[in-house]
Amino acid sequence: MNGQLHFNICNLPSSFLLDKEVPDIDKRIDENIPSELEYCCFYWAYHLGKCVLDEGLRSMLKTFIQRKMIFWIEVMFLLDKLSLCLDVLGTALKLKLEKENKDLLRQFNEMVTICTLGSIKGRTPHLYLSVVPFFMKDIAIFDDFHNLMEVKKARKLLRQLGFWNTPSGINCLDISPDGSMLVTGLANGEIIFWDTKTSVPMGDPCRGHSHSVTSVAFSSDGERIVSGSDDNTVRVWNARTGAPERDSFQGHSDKVTSVAFSPGGEKIVSGSDDKTVRVWNTLT
């Protein structure tokens, strides 16, 4: 990879075009990112994890991280594999590396997260125009990118990693214990699961509540969520399929405002505007 990766590998002509609008984009990718390079881009961290990192490998890896990694991200961008890019970086961060390279990997991981969750997917040139400027002071290779706008370090802490839109107002949300899923409870009564790496909804919205969803919470194993609603009910959903686990829990006489699982997941607690806290058995 160190010998093949370089800036603008597919010679994209303009930042004003979506990747798919570039003439002969598929041909450009096939000619400039051959199958052997694609394989290396997908699996380099996996294979390094199976090796003993001697001085020779460490030296090559240092060169790759410090001089070529941004061009690897460009290739993954072109191949529409940013989610996989995050997985590869996660694997690489588990390797026993020097602090300097670990820190760089974390910076690149943050960069790819911004690309994945932001609005530049499918616009590869904006990797350099819209994201790299925020990292100019942190990554040595960017010293060579003299034509890029520089963003002051003082503003870096305020940058937004990404955003996505929902079909209704969001009243509540929770993140799964492993960080892979986000669940949102909406004003229209729907519940939506999201892939946190891609910001893509995971299946259709969950529908069951007749009024606004006011509270959602994951179980400790991430397999279920509980929801409370202005319809005075509590519901449990399968986090993988979005299917309801059972009939709703009914007993509150006013809006349910807060819900949570017990650590073992066998009980649910709910709080309501009816001034009561109720405990429910999920096993019966």
Class of domain 170-281: mainly beta
Is the predicted pLDDT of residue 195 greater than 80, yes or no? yes
- pLDDT band of residue 156 (cuts 50, 70, 90) is very low
- pLDDT band of residue 2 (cuts 50, 70, 90) is confident
CA dist., res. 151 & res. 175, Å (int): 31
Is the predicted pLDDT of residue 154 greater than 50, yes or no? no
pLDDT digits 0-9 by tens, 256-280: 999 999 999 999 999 999 999 999 9
Mean pLDDT of 210-228: 96
Q: How far is CA 207 from CA 27, 152, 246, in A?
A: 44, 45, 13
pLDDT digits 0-9 by tens, 108-136: 998 898 888 877 888 999 888 888 877 77
Give the start-to-end residue ranges of the domains of the chain.
19-144, 170-281
Element at 236 (helix H, strand E): strand 233-238
Mean residue pLDDT across the chain: 88
Residue 146 pLDDT? 55
How many helices (H) and strands (E) the chain has is answered by 8, 11
- Contact assessment for residue 29 and residue 10, using Cβ atoms and an 8 Å cutoff: yes
pLDDT digits 0-9 by tens, 220-243: 999 999 999 999 999 999 999 999
- pLDDT band of residue 100 (cuts 50, 70, 90) is confident
Concatenating the DSSP letter of every residue in 203-230 gives SSPB---SS-EEEEEE-TTSSEEEEEET
CA dist., res. 39 & res. 91, Å (int): 16
Of the two residues 198 and 107, the one the predictor is more confident about is 107
Of the two residues 100 and 262, the one the predictor is more confident about is 262
Q: Of 61-70, 173-182, 227-236, which gets the smallest average pLDDT?
A: 61-70
Tokens, residue 2: 């160190």
Residue 28 pLDDT? 95
- Contact assessment for residue 168 and residue 186, using Cβ atoms and an 8 Å cutoff: yes
Tokens, residue 52: 């003993």
- pLDDT band of residue 281 (cuts 50, 70, 90) is very high
